[in-house]
Amino acid sequence: MSLLLSTSIDSLTEMALSPTDPNSFSRPDLAVVTHIHLNVKVNFTRKMFEGSVILDVEKKGDTNVLILDVRGLVILSITNIFDGSRLDYCIEKGVDYGSKLSVELPDDPIIDDGKISYKIKIDYRTSQDSTAIQWLNPEQTAGGKHPYLFSQCEAIHARSMLPCQDTPFVKSTYTAEITAPAELNVLMSAIKEKIIDVDKALKIHRFHQPVPIPSYLIAIAAGALVSKQIGPRTRVWTEKELLDKGAYEFEETEKMLKTAEDICGPYVWGVYDLLILPPSFPFGGMENPCLTFVTPTLLAGDRSLANVVAHEISHSWTGNLVTNMNFEHFWLNEGFTVFVERKILGRMYDDKVRHFAALMGVQSLKTALITLGDKNPLTNLVTNLIGIDPDDAFSVVPYEKGHIFLFYLEQLLGGPDVFEPFLRSYLEEFKYKSLSTTQWKEYLFKYFSDKVEVLDKVDWNAWFNEPGLPPVIPKYDTTLAQEYLDLAAKWLADKPISEFSKSDIENWTSNQKEAFLAELVLNNKSLSLDQVKSMSELYRFDSRQNSEIRFNWLRLCLKSRWEEKVSEALDFATSQGRLKFVRPLFQDIYAWEEMRQRAIDVYNEKKYKMMYVTREMVAKDLHILDKNKN
Ligand code: BES
Ligand code: ZN
């Protein structure tokens, strides 16, 4: 039996989790990956990545084993790069969301300047149903001629794309060589170095990411992608069909970047490109470094949804430079990012816009708490994810409770003039690192050591560890919200239809319309079917292109039991894959008993067109237990 199995069988069979991350088996405290070189061929016929990773590993503690996370990968061989000798390894089936790969480290490490390091090569391939990668046939793309693939690794899907220490506690640089069909372009969350022709059919695309990043930020896309420069450091990438629309929608990107730099400090990633994905992309945006991924549902035609870009830009500091150490502290990524996002909007337009967005945030938190239940421990700001897949814990809570918390602290400590310097100092202190909520709190107390009496007024335990609404919700400026709040109240008061007219909302922004509808969706009371039909005639919500308006309008129609709208809602929920829209619509139809079966039938018909996470989450929402797990 191998050295690995004979010496450490006990510790391996315990399947101990990482002491720093309940969702990873890795032990970066013992041996840590410092650089990844990914060398794979994307095989569209087999829907697989085939190739290898070379890992630079540094020994940190008393061990002769490197532990990695894997999910559905086929490991072919593991070797010591220096002499080609084989290394023993074993894989133990772990939890639903991953297994443990233990690799015996070579006994002749490189010792340099007190550092003990190794370089190992793992030959592997992904499985067809890698949860991180979606493979699209040509007919699922805008152009219809070429296949397409994209990845989504956050929170813990990187392990289904490559063997890695799949925890945000670990940050490493990466390089990559991707071999792909010559007619496709390949992009990654990195700087592109060059493209090398292999033969008529294949090209190699080379990348490097010189800034250490967590595994969840490794990203790739390949397809018939073209680009247009929209700023000094920004190109929009997409299939050519959407290029002009995309370039228009995101024209303000450089202005947002400059504003973000003004708030947070210099942008360290060089390039800030945007990639508009096919409709099945499951999120609004994903902050992949150098290359933010966005859903095409942002293309409203009026730039009204560009706040998502401000959000992803903000992650360049909060999340990508300063990172949550595991997903229990996800609010450090997302709460801070929403906070910076809204500061950008406040600076670019007016502080009233920041307050308006904050109010919409409270509205969406309240709406989410209705579904999640306000006693649900997953609605704590800091969650316990032992045995819980972060996908199952995902909600707006860390975003919006996190934002409320930071806004509250900012007011309490003396306003932006006092709090923004703290924000910059925090970013400076923790850049290139990962941290926990406790570390953040300690730093806050250290920074504001002259304001400890003020900080002692905060009910830390309630903020961090209690479910439901937070202990305090600050008073926001309602200037931009008042009109929609008044109009919503008037509809809810059952006023005769003659008191309403299309001019009620004529001069409103898309965001005000969206918030008006969201307010009606949130309210305990439902409008009657007649009221909603009259509203439809007056305000013409059916013909709006804006995806947020469409989403909230459909929810309102379902709430008032407008049967003809069920097909439209199901169409919308399956013609794009954004979880934010897809899940509530399926949940609403599921809750309407007479319509439930239609939702299940449509899901079963369309599920193989969905990306893994959408397919899986909706199955749970529809209580379909036979899961497509791998
Ligand atoms: N990082 C998230 C997306 C994410 C989170 C993917 C967790 C997988 C697991 C991204 O920055 C995000 O928050 N997107 C939002 C944007 C919104 C808050 C403006 C979205 O997709 O809606
Ligand atoms: Zn985010």
The CA-to-CA distance between both ends of the chain, in Å, stands at 29
What are the percentages of helix, strand and coil residues in the chain, rounded to 5?
45, 25, 35
**Residue with CA closest to ligand 1 atom 17:** 308
537 is catalytic: no
pTM greater than 0.85 (yes/no): yes
What is the Å distance from ligand 2's center to 341 Cα? Answer: 9
Mean pLDDT (whole number) for 485-514: 97
* Rounded (10°) CA dihedral 349, 351, 357, 360: -140
Atom of ligand 1 nearest to the CA of 287: 11
Q: How far apart are CA 94 and CA 67, in angstroms?
A: 13
Q: Tell me which ligand sits closest to the C-alpha of residue 294.
A: 1
Q: How far apart are CA 436 and CA 322, in angstroms?
A: 11
Amino acid letter, residue 433: K
What pLDDT shows up at residue 356? 98
Q: Tell me which ligand sits closest to the C-alpha of residue 283.
A: 1
Indicate if the pLDDT at residue 82 is higher than 60: yes
Q: From the CB of residue 348, how many other CB atoms can be counted at a distance below 10 Å?
A: 16
- Which domains are present in the chain? 4-220 (2.60.40.1730), 225-313 (3.30.2010.30), 317-465 (1.10.390.10), 480-621 (1.25.40.320)
Reported as a single tens digit per residue, the pLDDT across 520-565 is 999 999 999 999 999 999 999 998 889 999 999 999 999 999 999 9
Q: Work out the mean pLDDT of the chain and round it to a whole number.
A: 96
Q: Which two tokens stand for residue 279?
A: 């409709």
Atom of ligand 1 nearest to the CA of 282: 21
Amino acid letter, residue 213: I
Q: Which two tokens stand for residue 224?
A: 């018939």
What pLDDT shows up at residue 8? 43
What is the Å distance from ligand 2's center to 338 Cα? Answer: 7
Atom of ligand 1 nearest to the CA of 295: 21
What pLDDT shows up at residue 299? 98
Q: One of 154, 239, 249, 312 is an active-site residue; which one?
A: 312
399 is catalytic: yes
**Residue with CA closest to ligand 1 atom 8:** 154
Q: How far apart are CA 386 and CA 16, in angstroms?
A: 12
Listed in order, strand segments (DSSP E) in 379-493 are: 433-435
pLDDT confidence of 9, banded at 50, 70, 90? Answer: very low
Which residues does 258 contact at the CB level (< 8 Å), separation at least 6?
Answer: none
Residues with C-beta less than 6 Å from any ligand 1 atom: 154-155, 283-287, 307-308, 311-312, 315, 334, 394, 399, 580
What pLDDT shows up at residue 95? 84
Q: Tell me which ligand sits closest to the C-alpha of residue 168.
A: 1
Q: One of 174, 272, 399, 603 is an active-site residue; which one?
A: 399
Q: Which two tokens stand for residue 587?
A: 């949940």
Pocket mutation for ligand 1, best pick of 286, 317, 403 (most atoms within 8 Å of C-beta):
286
Buried-exposed string 263-272: b where 16+ CB fall within 10 A, e elsewhere: bbeebebeeb
Contact 402, 331 (CB under 8 A): yes
Which residues does 592 contact at the CB level (< 8 Å), separation at least 6?
Answer: 558, 561, 566
What pLDDT shows up at residue 6? 39
**Residue with CA closest to ligand 1 atom 14:** 285
Atom of ligand 1 nearest to the CA of 338: 18
Bridging pattern class, strands 322-324 and 433-435: parallel
State the DSSP string of 577-617.
--HHHHHHHHHHHHHSGGGHHHHHHHHHHHGGGS-HHHHHH
Q: How far apart are CA 16 and CA 526, in angstroms?
A: 50
Bridging pattern class, strands 65-70 and 98-104: antiparallel
**Residue with CA closest to ligand 1 atom 6:** 154
What is the Å distance from ligand 1's center to 333 Cα? Answer: 10
Mean pLDDT (whole number) for 468-475: 98
Considering only residues 3 and 410, tell me which one the structure prediction assigns the higher pLDDT: 410
**Residue with CA closest to ligand 1 atom 1:** 286
What is the Å distance from ligand 2's center to 258 Cα? Answer: 19
Pocket mutation for ligand 1, best pick of 156, 288, 311, 342 (most atoms within 8 Å of C-beta):
311
Pocket mutation for ligand 1, best pick of 217, 276, 277, 283 (most atoms within 8 Å of C-beta):
283
Q: Tell me which ligand sits closest to the C-alpha of residue 391.
A: 1
Q: How far apart are CA 397 and CA 334, in angstroms?
A: 9
**Residue with CA closest to ligand 1 atom 10:** 286
Q: How far apart are CA 607 and CA 605, in angstroms?
A: 6
Helix (H) or strand (E) holding 228: strand 226-231
CA angle 10, 12, 18 (to 5 degrees): 125
Q: How far apart are CA 289 and CA 274, in angstroms?
A: 10
Q: How far apart are CA 451 and CA 608, in angstroms?
A: 56
Indicate if the pLDDT at residue 16 is higher than 80: no
Indicate if the pLDDT at residue 54 is higher than 60: yes
Indicate if the pLDDT at residue 12 is higher than 60: no
Reported as a single tens digit per residue, the pLDDT across 239-248 is 999 999 999 9
Helix-helix angle 397-413:416-430, to 10 degrees: 120
What is the Å distance from ligand 1's center to 312 Cα? Answer: 8
Pocket mutation for ligand 1, best pick of 153, 287, 298, 334 (most atoms within 8 Å of C-beta):
334
Maximum pairwise Cα distance, the chain: 85
Contact 276, 174 (CB under 8 A): no
Contact 251, 303 (CB under 8 A): yes
Which residues does 475 contact at the CB level (< 8 Å), separation at least 6?
Answer: none
Q: How far apart are CA 211 and CA 172, in angstroms?
A: 8
What pLDDT shows up at residue 11? 44
